[in-house]
């Protein structure tokens, strides 16, 4: 089996023994038979696939997909080959290289590229200076520092290759001109994993590039041919510009990928919370977005001022910046025609307000200028995942209920439109009216005089005398009970709007108690 795969990738299976008396074909055939014999003895449990004549199999006929479909794993091949090739170092080495080709999860590149001795010495000196002059470089972990050095050395090695290939054009060019062949600089960053862009910022890459360029420019006489110093400097300038563009492209692509992923996570999370889903999957998404542990939050729903997708994206950025300036953190998502924000007023740690004394009103006032003239609705301050679901639903339903109001306050608070939300079918609003108004008035007595007096007063058109006559009590008793209802509910029946809230709560309570 080992020989079959090795030969199909272009290896002849020669063990390196001296057989001068035989032709190359005889030696190859004898060696193949010997290896096959030993493989059958030590790897009898490995199945033999049906293969065509080995003489007709080319290197390109065995691909990674073919090997992955085989019933023999790379580890099995490597283990078997090690058993049968202990006496043949060359075959063992080739087999080990073959096994490494089969591995899908390859480690990051840790081998430094080969550089001319003079240039290598210049780079080493530059790295030693960076370690003392750049604090961020000095503080890197050994792994990140090594990976960054490999990227820099790869860039220099590619420059050397490009310079050698383009030497004639560089000699003809008196300055940086379009006549110079464009170098391939994108592959420089392929040696580093995607996580490289998280631990090393674009500014740091640019600073490193500038440092390396300055170091090589200062030592150009050490490696440039006599009379070619200026041409070499021009080539370095042109090449470093291309490296900078490639770095910007890599980091922009990485940032866009992370931004798109975070935006999808935020949209999915807010959509689930709006639907009332507060499962562990939603908690996991919040954790990925940086919302760990317990938190307090409130929601804002409105329409941001924008004229298109680009201006909407900028508006999202301004929202995040405004929230973070006050010491909070937020999630932003578009739901139908609304922008929905979920804000934690005490999560941020990078603001000027280290005491975290900011209240939801402070955030709302800072955000109002970013919205258009339509109603901006604010949900109540709640805690953790169930509270996040509650406040988002409250803010969105309040936005839908705002059209029922003659004069809409700015901002419109969800607690101010409880009756309208209940009419829309908002179970949270109905439950709040029942629990916080009706049950407080009723207490443990279905015939509580407080509830009876208030309901009679509201049904009679808010007339004290009519209520007193119907209940057969003194008007002062009615006044006392109405005052008491304000104390226990917070809603004043003398105010027409608040009287409507109380009447809706009593009707909901009577229906739910039936």
pTM above 0.75, yes or no: no
The model's pLDDT over 408-437, given as tens digits with 9 standing for 90+, comes to: 999 999 999 999 999 999 999 999 999 999
CA atoms within 13 A on the CB side of 236: 21
Selected residue with higher pLDDT from 3 and 133 = 133
Is residue 150 within 8 A of residue 191, CB to CB? The reply is yes
The CATH number assigned to the domain with range 426-513 reads: 1.10.10.2840
- pLDDT exceeds cutoff 90 at 225: no
Is residue 398 within 8 A of residue 421, CB to CB? The reply is yes
- The percentage of residues in the chain with a pLDDT greater than 90, rounded to a whole number, is 36
DSSP code per residue over 29-57: HHHHHHHHHHHHHH-TTS-------GGG-
Q: Residue 280 corresponds to which tokens in the numbers above?
A: 């562990």
Residue boundaries of the structural domains of the chain: 2-102, 117-255, 275-412, 426-513
The model's pLDDT over 331-385, given as tens digits with 9 standing for 90+, comes to: 999 988 899 999 999 875 544 444 555 789 999 999 999 999 999 999 999 999 9
Question: What pLDDT shows up at residue 176?
Answer: 54
Residue matched to tokens 């060019």? 173
Pairing of strands 338-344, 329-335: antiparallel
Which residues, in sequence order, are bridge partners of residue 343? 298, 330
Backbone angles phi, psi at 329, to 5 degrees: -140, 155
In 352-438, which residue ranges form alpha helices assigned H by DSSP? Answer: 360-367, 384-401, 418-423, 427-433
Q: Residue 173 corresponds to which tokens in the numbers above?
A: 């060019």
Is residue 167 within 8 A of residue 156, CB to CB? The reply is no
Burial class (CB in 10 A: 0-12, 13-18, 19+), 267: middle
Confidence tier at 27 by pLDDT (50, 70, 90): very low
Question: What pLDDT shows up at residue 275?
Answer: 92
What CATH architecture applies to the domain 275-412?
2-Layer Sandwich (3.30)
Local structure of residue 387 (DSSP, 8 states): H
Average pLDDT of the residues in 199-211 = 79
Is residue 344 within 8 A of residue 360, CB to CB? The reply is no
Burial class (CB in 10 A: 0-12, 13-18, 19+), 350: exposed
Helix (H, G, I), strand (E, B) or coil at 399: helix
Backbone angles phi, psi at 308, to 5 degrees: 180, -175
- Rounded mean pLDDT of the chain? 76
Residue matched to tokens 């493989």? 39
Is residue 491 within 8 A of residue 436, CB to CB? The reply is no
Is residue 285 within 8 A of residue 351, CB to CB? The reply is no
């Amino acid at each position: 089996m080992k020989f079959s795969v090795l030969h199909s990738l272009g290896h002849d299976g020669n063990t390196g023994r001296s057989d001068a008396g035989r032709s190359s074909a005889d030696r190859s055939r004898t060696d193949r038979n010997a290896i096959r014999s030993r493989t059958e003895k030590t790897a009898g449990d490995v199945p033999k696939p049906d293969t065509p004549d080995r003489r007709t199999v080319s290197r390109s006929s065995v691909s990674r997909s073919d090997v992955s479909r085989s019933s023999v794993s790379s580890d099995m091949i490597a283990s078997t080959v090690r058993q049968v090739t202990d006496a043949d170092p060359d075959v063992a080495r080739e087999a080990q290289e073959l096994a490494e080709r089969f591995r899908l999860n390859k480690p990051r590149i840790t081998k430094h590229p080969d550089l001319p001795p003079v240039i290598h010495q210049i780079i080493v000196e530059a790295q030693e200076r960076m370690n003392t002059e750049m604090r961020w470089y000095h503080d890197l972990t050994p792994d990140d520092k090594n990976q960054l050095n490999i990227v820099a050395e790869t860039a220099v090695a590619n420059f050397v290759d490009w310079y050698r290939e383009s030497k004639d054009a560089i000699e003809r060019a008196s300055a940086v001109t379009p006549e110079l062949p464009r170098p391939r600089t994108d592959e420089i960053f392929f040696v580093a994993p995607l996580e490289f862009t998280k631990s090393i910022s674009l500014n740091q890459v640019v600073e490193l590039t500038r440092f390396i360029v300055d170091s090589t420019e200062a030592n150009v006489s050490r490696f440039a041919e006599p009379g070619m110093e200026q041409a070499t400097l021009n080539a370095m300038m042109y090449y470093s510009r291309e490296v900078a563009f490639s770095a910007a492209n890599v980091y922009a692509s990485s940032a866009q990928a992370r931004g798109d992923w975070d935006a999808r996570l935020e949209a999915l999370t807010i959509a689930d919370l709006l639907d009332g889903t507060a499962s562990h999957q939603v908690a996991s998404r919040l954790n990925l977005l940086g919302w760990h542990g317990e938190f307090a939050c409130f929601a804002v729903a409105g329409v941001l001022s924008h004229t298109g997708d680009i201006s909407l994206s900028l508006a999202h950025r301004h929202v995040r910046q405004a929230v973070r300036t006050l010491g909070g953190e937020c999630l932003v998502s578009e739901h139908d025609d609304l922008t929905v924000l979920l804000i934690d007023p005490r999560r941020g740690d990078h603001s000027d307000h280290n005491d975290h004394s900011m209240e939801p009103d402070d955030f709302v006032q800072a955000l109002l200028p970013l919205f258009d003239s339509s109603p901006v609705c604010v949900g109540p301050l709640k805690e953790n995942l169930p509270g996040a679901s509650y406040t988002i639903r409250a803010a969105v339903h309040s936005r839908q209920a705002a059209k029922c109001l003659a004069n809409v306050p700015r901002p419109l608070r969800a607690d101010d439109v409880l009756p309208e939300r209940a009419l829309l079918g908002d179970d949270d609003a109905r439950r709040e009216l029942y629990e916080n108004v009706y049950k407080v008035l009723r207490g443990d007595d279905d015939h509580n005089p407080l509830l009876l007096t208030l309901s009679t007063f509201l049904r009679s058109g808010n007339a004290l005398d009519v209520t007193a006559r119907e209940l057969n009590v003194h008007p002062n008793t009615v006044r006392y009970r109405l005052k008491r209802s304000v104390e226990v509910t917070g809603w004043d029946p003398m105010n027409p709007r608040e009287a409507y809230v109380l009447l809706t709560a009593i009707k909901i309570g009577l229906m739910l108690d039936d």
